[in-house]
Structure 1
Amino acid sequence: MTTTLSPDAAKRVFYVLSTTRWLPVGFVVGIFTLVARERGLSIEEITLYMTAQGVMVLLLEMPTSGFADVLGRKPVLLAAGVVNIVAGVAYLFAQSFWAFALAAGLMGVYRALDSGPLEAWYVDTVHEQEPGADVHKAMSIQGVLVGVGMGGGALVSGALVAWHPFEDSSPLLLPIQVFVALCVVHLVATLVLLSETPRSEGRLGGRLASSVRETPTVIRDGLRMLGSNRVLRYLVLVELFWVTGMMAYETLMPLRLAELLGSEAEAGVWMGPAAAGGWALFSFGSWLGGWLAERLGLVRAAIVGRVVNGLGVVVMGLALGPVALLVAYLFTYTLHGAASPAYVSLLHREASSRNRATVLSMSSLVMQGGGSAVGPLLGLLAARTSISTAMVVAGLISTVGFVCFLPARRRDRADAEVENAEVTPSHG
Structure 2
Amino acid sequence: MPRAGRAQPLDPGAARRRFATVTFLFWLPVGLYIPSQVLLLTERGMALAVVGGLFAVYSVAVSVMELPTGGLSDVVGRRPVLAAAGLLNLCALTVMALGTTVWALTVAMVLMGTGRALSSGPAEAWYVDTVQAHSGAGAELRTGLARGGTASAAALAAGTLVGGTLPLLLGLGPDPGAELVRVTGGLVLPLSVPGLLGAAVGAGYVVYVLCALPEPPRAPATLRGVPATMADGLRLGVREPLIRRILLTAAAAGAALATIELLTPGRAARLTGSPESGAVLYAAVACVGFVCTALGSHSAPLAARLTGSSEKAALASLAVSTTGLVLLGVTAGWGGPGPAAVAAGGYALVYLGLGAAGPNGTTSSTAAWPAR
Same fold (TM over 0.5): yes
Does residue 142 of structure 2 align to residue 136 of structure 1? yes
The 3 A distance-change label for structure 1 pair 276 and 295 is: same
Q: Take 1:3 and 1:69, find their aligned partners in 2: how far apart are those partners?
A: 20
Poorly superposed stretches of 4+, deviation over 6 Å: none
Paired residue for 2:325, among 293, 313, 322? 313
Give the CA deviation at 1:107: 0.5
Which digits, 9 at most, give the CA deviation of each residue in 1:363-401, with x for residues without a partner?
Answer: xxxxxxxxxxxxxxxxxxxxxxxxxxxxxxxxxxxxxxx
1:188 aligns with 2:203: no
Once residues 2 and 237 of structure 1 are traced to their aligned partners in structure 2, the CA distance between those partners, rounded to angstroms, is 40
Q: Report the equivalent of 2:311.
A: 299
Paired amino acid for 2:15: A
What TM-score comes out, normalization by structure 1 length?
A: 0.73
Moved more, 216-225 or 85-94: 216-225
Q: Any idea what the Cα deviations from partners look like across 1:85-114, whole Å, max 9, x if unmatched? A: 111110011212222211111111211221
Residue 45 of structure 1: how far off its partner (Å) = 0.9
1:96 matched to which residue of 2? Answer: 101
Q: 2:145 is matched by which residue type in structure 1?
A: M
Distance 1:57 1:233, change over 3 A: closer
Count of residue pairs brought into register by the alignment: 346
Residue 160 of structure 2 aligns with which residue? 154
Give 2:300's aligned residue: 289
Shift of 1:130: 2.5
Q: Deviations over 1:23-69 (max 9, x none)?
A: 22211123211211222212211111222223333443334333311
Which residue is 1:12 aligned to? 17
Residues 237-264 of structure 1, C-alpha deviations (whole Å, 9 max, x = no match): 2223222222222222223333444543
Within 5 Å, give how 1:25-424 maps onto structure 2: 25-128=30-133, 129-133=135-139, 135-164=141-170, 167=176, 168-169=178-179, 170-200=189-219, 207=220, 210-226=221-237, 229-296=240-307, 297-317=309-329, 318-319=331-332, 320=334, 324=341, 325-351=343-369
Unaligned runs of at least 5 residues, structure 1: 201-206, 353-407, 412-428
What percentage of residue pairs aligned between the two structures are identical? 32
- Cα RMSD (Å) of the superposition? 2.7
* SS at 1:102 equivalent: helix
CA contact 2:299–2:356 (8 Å) conserved in 1: yes
TM-score (norm 2): 0.84
Greater relative contact order (Cα < 8 A, sep 6+)? 1
Residue identity opposite 2:209 in structure 1: T
How far apart, CA to CA, are the structure 2 residues paired with 1:237 and 1:266?
Answer: 36
**Hey, what's the Cα distance between the residues in 2 that align with 1:13 and 1:285?**
21
Gapped runs of 5+ residues in structure 2? Answer: 1-5, 180-188
The answer (yes or no) to whether the contact 1:76–1:113 under 8 Å persists in 2 is: yes
